[in-house]
Amino acid sequence: MADRALPLPVPPALRRLAWLLPPAAGALAAGGFPPVALWPLTLFGLALLVALLARAPGPGRAALCGWLWGVGHFSLGNGWIATAFTYQSNMPAALGPVAVVLLALYLAVFPAAAAALAVAFARGRPTALVPAFAAAWILSEWLRGWLFTGFPWNPLAVAALGGPERAGLAQVLPWTGTYALSGLVALLAALWWRGWSLRVARPGLALLLVAVPLATFRLPQLTPPDPPGRLPFTLVQPGIPQDELDDPARFEAQFATAARLTRAARPAARRLVLWPESGLPDYLREGYPAWFYAATTYRGDPVAARARLGRVIGPGGLLLTGAVDLVVERGRAVAARNVVTVVDAGGTIRGSYAKAHLVPYGEYLPLRAWLTPLGLSRLVPGDFDFAAGPGPRTLALGPWGRAGVQICYEIVFSGEVIDRADRPDFLFNPSNDGWFGAAGPPQHLAQARLRAIEEGVPVLRATTNGISAVIDANGLIRHSLPRPIAGRIDGFVPVAHAPTPFARFGNRLALVWAAALVLCSMLALWRARG
């Protein structure tokens, strides 16, 4: 039989609405992400895209189809971003949906590029289109992860996760990494389409191609539970509503809540205490202009503020808390840093980490010198931007272990969360997810699970208002605190695994998988010519 696709019957009444099918399919595919988390929707939405690409007359039409698909996909998947505008007085809430769509118009460029590349390479051969589509998707997600600082939120790999106590298909992450797993999801969806297209000519093969993805996504948990660790921890979720977080009149009450949740019934020989991003309004370092301390810091004195923290965590405690440092030049503050500061029971700073992946338009204003005259400086509150830190580093905490830190959405950047020359025992991911409504926090948590599996290290998430969680190195959620309660988790830090292949080679693995899929597509083209 010639390697050609059977045309899909399209009723004449629907042809005039055909342009609505790609964005509808893209929105359907977003249903595989939390909070819906129905992976068949992702496979079906992608399979519809491949079916449309198989009918495209050339790469240009394929690019348009992929772009429309992406607009629907990212508009629904990133809809939680609109919620952030309701908490920022300088940004009208009505701009939230506009911002979501504008972002989707940009992000849709990446599936458009994948669609055009796959169609150009496959040259009208359906069997070649299947691996070509998967390879192109790997490259497009990899580009989305770093181009213009990157926004790799919600890779297709998220849909491959099982429930909280099962990693599902995502168990292959140590050998693939996130971008290649996304390519595998795209491959399985393309197999669904190919099975449909062969339903008449080769029904047995068609049934097999439909069954393989179904069985693969139901993969049972293959790794045994990890043994318990030995480092005790207390993880605090203070339950602060986002609209109260930055109110100075509430700072002391917020601190009292965090302190109450932190204090131990009995002093421990050692204990790690984890507070979230935005968990502390105090400036903890000395040397800043005096009025900064007077406005926010306990007793206007950073030494007193640190001593108070030491009393809260108690003897044997070591606190990792979100805070803000200032960059001071010639006696004036010129920038800020979003940091995690380590404070011991004596009130001494034992180390810190500064966030490296900052949020454009949230923590800094790109092209500020150009946009400020246009009145756009109000998109970012404050008189100056946040400054980026140097990148992943491991904090040596002595008997409290070795901690890697990724603040808030830094955790979504595959291959960029760990210092590979100095591997940590665990990753601490403090975050303030209160900006992002109901859908953003579970999506954020899912992506933290991907990092745990591919790197082979546990991840501990402390958030202001949920979802806080302890994730072991298999990506399983050991403990969690839902939104929007105040609470604490006590336990032992899960053990890390030996370095995974991904931990050794990073995203070079994704490029190897992409190359292998390209070879499969070339083989299909060669066989079709014969």
Structure tokens at 11: 């009723």
Phi, psi of 508 (to 5 degrees): -60, -30
Q: Which residue has the tokens 């070079």?
A: 508
Identified catalytic residue from 65, 141, 363, 408 = 408
Distance CA 30, CA 399 (A): 44
Q: Which of 65, 141, 277, 455 is catalytic?
A: 277
Which DSSP string do the residues of 243-287 spell out, in sequence order?
GGTT-GGGHHHHHHHHHHHH--SS--SSEEEE--TT---S--SS-
Of 141, 355, 454, 520, the active-site residue reads 355
For residue 471, CA distances in Å to 187, 227, 283, 328 come to: 28, 13, 30, 37
Q: Which of 76, 82, 151 has its CA nearest to residue 110?
A: 151
Q: For residues 370 and 135, what is the distance between their CA atoms, to the nearest angstrom?
A: 39
Residue among 156, 129, 155 at smallest CA distance from 53: 129
Q: The tokens of 295 are what?
A: 């406005």
- CA gap 76, 153 in Å, rounded: 13
Helix axes 173-197, 126-144, angle to 10 degrees: 140
Beta partners for 320?
274, 342
Is 355 among the catalytic positions?
Answer: yes
Report which DSSP code applies to 491. E
Sheet (strand 477-481) strand order: 394-396, 402-405, 426-431, 459-463, 468-471, 477-481
Quote the tokens at residue 316: 């044997």
Active-site residue 520, yes or no?
no
Distance of CA 481 to the CA centre of its chain: 19
Question: How far is residue 499's CA from residue 152's CA, in Å, rounded to a whole number?
Answer: 23
* Cα–Cα–Cα angle for 463, 235, 150, rounded to 5 degrees: 35
Residue 80, phi then psi, degrees to nearest 5:
-60, -20
Distance, in Å, from the CA atom of 156 to the CA atom of 169, rounded to the nearest integer, reads 12
CA proximity to 160, closest of 53, 65, 71, 46: 46
Q: Do 176 and 509 form a contact (C-beta atoms < 8 A)?
A: yes
Residue 277 known to be catalytic: yes
- Write out the catalytic residue numbers: 277, 355, 408
